[in-house]
Structure 1
Amino acid sequence: MSIESTPRLDPALAAGNLQQLAGYEARHFRWTVQGKVATVVLDRPERKNPLTFESYAELRDLFGRLRQATDVKAVVVTGSGGNFCSGGDVHEIIGPLVRLQAPELLLFTRMTGDLVKAMRACPQPIVAAVDGVCAGAGAIVAMASDLRLGTARSKTAFLFNRVGLAGCDMGACAILPRIVGQGRASELLYTGRSLGGEEGERWGFFNRLCGPDELLAEAQKLAAELADGPTFANGITKTMLHHEWAMTLEQAIEAEAQAQALCMLTEDFTRAYEAFVARRKPVFEGN
């Protein structure tokens, strides 16, 4: 959906709630948009792409803005130089944190948690393309994505225990067990050990493995397929996958009934029916 394609929408409402992000100029990572797919590249390869206070905040704000984006329908997150992300920068984050008091530390931990909340709240499916080191906050970013492609040489580690911290960081105790199971999540969070690529695929952390040279292209291909689908309905699916964690079965079934009825009002639903009758592939437009 774009502002131009919704003439019934009041311009003032559109201006406050719809925006295009293809021209966004990132300061602390690389951001490109090709077609309907945006790619975030964490780009500090000499340090294995660690996060800083600034990149945390910019990622949080950008994923928050994606809720209003009309031109981006799926997102790929990856790292440069053969690694995904080594976590929070030891010198630029960890060092300063040991000198702070509780109010300032809570400011930081809430900011990092807000990144995960923004990733889960944006309607676009997020595909993480994970190669090499994927540790600490980097493992969290991969975890918070909707789909994960890895390589055999991927090394994913929730390292918080190794630095004297609890594994309950940025939603790990809520999200990770739902991906790999309670027992396996407990092992990773208590020990901080690395999860290899092949093991990660067996455990369900990775949807599939790719060769390192094909990883980004495969992730972008998958994202493009999602972006060409019924994106309004995909956004509803993502919302329900997230919110139904806290629902009873009865509540979930009722919430899905209401959500599906809403999707049946979309033009994409009609397009799919008409394409089926005409024996052709539907062309979805996200409305």
Structure 2
Amino acid sequence: MAGTLEVDRPRDGIAVVRLNRPERLNAINEAMQTELRETLADLSVDRGVHAIVLTGAGRGFCAGIDMRDFGPGMLDASAPALDRMRFQEKMAALTEAVRALPQPVIAAVNGPCVGAGFALCLASDIRICSTAASFGNAAILLGLSGAEMGMSYHLPRIVGTSVAADWMLSGRTVSAAEADRRGLVSEVVEPEALTDRAVELASLIADLSPLGVQLTKRALQVNTDAASLSSALELENRNQVISHASDEAATRRQKWSPGQTQ
């Protein structure tokens, strides 16, 4: 498993998780699948990490699953359906693990972001990319369903159902410019500036109250599917009451001045 991931701590409160198989455009093999699952589990309980950046080494973000050299766990079409379902569930669990992290996750997409890599990007809270980035749903091009690893859940909520259908049914490559225009990413920067910008954004978040940030992340996730405004307000009201009573909130109120934005 050694070497499939790099985890850096550029400053207090921030972890940069870098997929590290650049020779394969960071395609996910069995070793990376295991290491990523374990790393995300460790970060989820690390009280010293308040924001996470997910990116790729070399010129790619993630080319999806490594179809040619995944490892001994890869199954062929003749394997029992139940075994193939378990394999798919292990891949899908990576999406769930990213979404379930209490800390906000910033996907810094530095190059091709395809298939399983696209799913990890969608599960992140904030997505920024370089001008060299591109996005694609590879499964449909392989004769499979274009809906996998949460893609049919996340993508329509981010870009709308018609755009999601276009991308998922055609499997075409989406440029950084189109991704920006459709709202998939919040920012496009030059390749050499991507990591620094992601860390800068993570720093803004990491310097805030962890409780307030984590309650905000969960409210965004839950209220995206809220049945009504009243349901959304119910959760927001409770979050405000909980965070208002924290020591950190009290300290920040004492230091607050009118017009302050940071």
Range 39-48 or range 87-96, more displaced: 87-96
1:60 aligns with 2:37: yes
Q: Using structure 2 for the length normalisation, give the TM-score.
A: 0.92
Among 244, 253, 262, the residue aligned to 1:264:
244
Give the unaligned 5+ runs of structure 2.
none
Report how far residue 28 of structure 1 moved.
2.5
- The alignment partner of 2:92 has SS state of helix
Per the alignment, residue 170 of structure 2 pairs with: 191
CA distance in structure 2 between the aligned counterparts of 1:51 and 1:264, rounded to whole angstroms: 42
1:80 aligns with 2:60: no
Per the alignment, residue 30 of structure 1 pairs with: 6
> How big is the alpha-carbon RMSD for the aligned residues of Structure 1 and Structure 2?
2.1
Per the alignment, residue 143 of structure 2 pairs with: 164
Number of matched pairs: 258
CA distance in structure 2 between the aligned counterparts of 1:205 and 1:97, rounded to whole angstroms: 32
CA distance in structure 1 between the aligned counterparts of 2:199 and 2:152, rounded to whole angstroms: 29
Q: Kindly provide the amino acid, as one letter, of the partner of residue 160 in structure 1.
A: A
CA distance in structure 2 between the aligned counterparts of 1:245 and 1:94, rounded to whole angstroms: 37
CA distance in structure 1 between the aligned counterparts of 2:253 and 2:119, rounded to whole angstroms: 39
Per the alignment, residue 156 of structure 2 pairs with: 177
Give the unaligned 5+ runs of structure 1.
1-24, 283-287
- The alignment partner of 1:123 has SS state of coil
Q: How does 1:237-252 map to 2 (within 5 A)?
A: 237-249=216-228, 250-252=230-232
Report how far residue 27 of structure 1 moved.
5.1
CA distance in structure 1 between the aligned counterparts of 2:238 and 2:154, rounded to whole angstroms: 25
1:97 aligns with 2:79: no
Q: Kindly provide the amino acid, as one letter, of the partner of residue 178 in structure 1.
A: R
Report how far residue 277 of structure 1 moved.
4.8
- Asked whether the 8 Å contact 2:115–2:136 carries over to 1, the reply is yes
Per the alignment, residue 207 of structure 1 pairs with: 186
- Asked whether the 8 Å contact 1:57–1:111 carries over to 2, the reply is no
Deviation per CA, 1:189-224: give whole Å up to 9, x if none. Answer: 101111100110011111110100111111111111
Q: Using structure 1 for the length normalisation, give the TM-score.
A: 0.84
- The alignment partner of 2:55 has SS state of strand
Report how far residue 253 of structure 1 moved.
1.5
Report how far residue 153 of structure 1 moved.
2.1
CA distance in structure 2 between the aligned counterparts of 1:279 and 1:77, rounded to whole angstroms: 33
Report how far residue 93 of structure 1 moved.
3.2
CA distance in structure 2 between the aligned counterparts of 1:182 and 1:221, rounded to whole angstroms: 32
- Asked whether the 8 Å contact 1:129–1:150 carries over to 2, the reply is yes
Q: How does 1:123-138 map to 2 (within 5 A)?
A: 123-138=102-117
- The alignment partner of 1:214 has SS state of helix
CA distance in structure 2 between the aligned counterparts of 1:112 and 1:151, rounded to whole angstroms: 26
